[in-house]
Amino acid sequence: MSLIFKNSFNQLPKQFYSKIEPEKTNRPKKVLINNSLCNDLNVDYNYLDTEEGINILSGNLIHKDSDPLAMVYAGHQFGNWVPQLGDGRAHLLGEVLDREGNKYDLQLKGSGRTPYSRGGDGKAWLGPVIREYVVSEYMHNIHIPTTRSLSAVLTGDNVYREETYPGAVLCRVARSHIRVGTFQYFYSRKDTKSLKILADYFIKHHFPNLEKNENKYFELFKNVVDGQINLVTSWMKVGFIHGVMNTDNTSISCETIDYGPCAFIDNYKSDKVFSSIDSMGRYCYKNQPNILMWNIACFASTLVPLLEGTEEKKVDILQKEISSIPEKYKNKWLLEFSKKIGLKKIYPENEVLINRFLEILESENLDFTNSFRALIKEVESSNELISKTDTFKSWKNDWKKLIKKKSNQKEVCKTITSNNPAFIMRNHLVEKIIQELLTDKKDTLNKALECIEKPFEKIKHYEKMYVGPTKEQEVLRTFCGT
């Protein structure tokens, strides 16, 4: 079987999208095709890896079953309302079904201008395309819900930013590309009919068991609340900073979407920001749970016209659900961070212990991932390894007492190992991969792809892939993926 597209989104009324084909490219050339994702999606890798396949993945050729379109949406960007955004550099090619029958969107990104491009050129260059490919695939392999990357293809055309770069196209795979901003688009136009069509479409494809439920829209809301709490907690757990948590980048299917200026923390700093455009630190590490709540509140507003009852009652039930977020988040966070220090359950002592550990990392400028991971060695060692300070000594003492009381060494080590990846797709590695690719080298990329496949293990002889950046390698600023 080569590639079979379904098209359910284009059955929706025309106010949901603009039908538009990707721009033709000069000389498409494969950089990466994702074999394991092909397998999950029941797509034939060997077909994609032909001239015809590469032409489809670059947007040059339209598959016979594909009916490309750009989706419309709106959104709050850095808190400012933008009434119309939309896929300005992306084309939805259609949908494929995986082996279990789940629907996935295939979307090209960097595939040319659309009616929503505003001033942009609709293009992407190789850097952001590769960044999205490796980081999203890494996220998937550490079990964080995310859009995935089926391919990265060079277009053979130049893209002009501060400099001239090789143009590229990513094929992004998502459960859905519907965002909070898609709901906001119709809500802000008081188009309740379209809003209902949108919610019903989403429920039909993602929560079919809710279709007959009397409170289906409120149930949808509760599911999104839980999904977003799960998502943001999983980011916090690995020190991931998304960087642009705008409502147009907040997926209703609760997948990590839009890998622009994102990065993982090396040395822990709770207010860490990488993005060059986030000057106020709105989307800094520690603020991500607050922004989650802000974005959910935006989503809640859009559902008011769809719920039954008086205005007061509707607002009241939504508000109650929103008010439950901090406690739900806190419990999830506590459980996940407990696992990071080797405990599978929440005990009364855990919270203080976790926070004390984080304070040590911050005040002693220690690496987030590697320090948690090093707890495996601390379990067995009578000397302190992570730090020699008295504060750490005293922490270790209290921690060891607790794990001894509640568990055993073997279990603790197992829990730490499976909850703290050995490999982190660090920003300086991403930069190295990109710089090498610009001179046709793939050494770091190939190593990274191997590490991405087994992120909880250390591959022999790849020591450099597991350490934090040197002072010179440190990436201080990241940029939006345009």
Q: In whole angstroms, what is the distance from residue 416 CA to residue 423 CA? A: 14
* Interface pattern 238-257 for ligand AMP (x via CB under 6 A): ------x---xx--------
- The token pair at 178 is 């519907």
| Ordered DSSP codes for 219-277 | HHHHHHHHHHHHHHHHHHHHTEE-S---GGG-BTT--B---SS-EE-SB--TT---BTT
> Segment 57-86, which members bind ligand AMP (CB under 6 A)?
85-86
Beta bridge partners of 125: 167
Which partner, Mg ion, ligand AMP, none, binds residue 88 by CB below 5 to 8 Å per kind? Answer: ligand AMP
| 77/230 with CB nearer Mg ion | 77
Size of the site for Mg ion (CB under 5 A): 2
Instruction: Tell which one of 132, 258, 278, 367 touches Mg ion (CB under 5 A).
Output: 258
Nearest to 444 by CA among 158, 130, 167, 148: 130
- The single-letter DSSP state of residue 305 is G
Q: Does 167 bind ligand AMP (CB under 6 A)?
A: no
CB closest to ligand AMP, residue no? 120
Burial (CB < 10 A; 0-12, 13-18, 19+), residue 209, is exposed
Q: Does 87 bind ligand AMP (CB under 6 A)?
A: yes
Q: Does 480 bind ligand AMP (CB under 6 A)?
A: yes
Query: Max CA-CA distance within the chain?
Result: 68
Q: Does 255 bind Mg ion (CB under 5 A)?
A: no
Q: Does 166 bind ligand AMP (CB under 6 A)?
A: no
* Contact in structure between 197 and 15 (CB atoms under 8 Å): no
Instruction: Tell which one of 260, 289, 342, 455 touches ligand AMP (CB under 6 A).
Output: 260
CB closest to Mg ion, residue no? 258
SS3 204: helix
Residue 219 CB neighbour total at 10 angstroms: 15
Which partner, ligand AMP, Mg ion, none, binds residue 67 by CB below 5 to 8 Å per kind? Answer: none
Shortest CB 251 distance to ligand AMP, Å:
12
Catalytic annotation on 248? yes
Which partner, ligand AMP, Mg ion, none, binds residue 424 by CB below 5 to 8 Å per kind? Answer: none
Q: In whole angstroms, what is the distance from residue 339 CA to residue 17 CA? A: 44
| 79/120 with CB nearer ligand AMP | 120
Residues 6+ apart with CB under 8 A from 406: 343, 345, 347
Beta bridge partners of 165: 159
Alpha carbon distances (Å) from 295 to 25, 102, 275: 37, 27, 19
> Segment 112-151, which members bind ligand AMP (CB under 6 A)?
116-117, 120-123
Which partner, ligand AMP, Mg ion, none, binds residue 181 by CB below 5 to 8 Å per kind? Answer: none
> Segment 213-252, which members bind Mg ion (CB under 5 A)?
249
Helix (H) or strand (E) holding 154: strand 148-160
Q: Which of 87, 157, 248, 278 is catalytic?
A: 248
Size of the site for ligand AMP (CB under 6 A): 19
Catalytic residues: 248
**Site residues (vs ligand AMP, CB under 6 A):** 85-89, 116-117, 120-123, 244, 248-249, 258, 260, 480-482
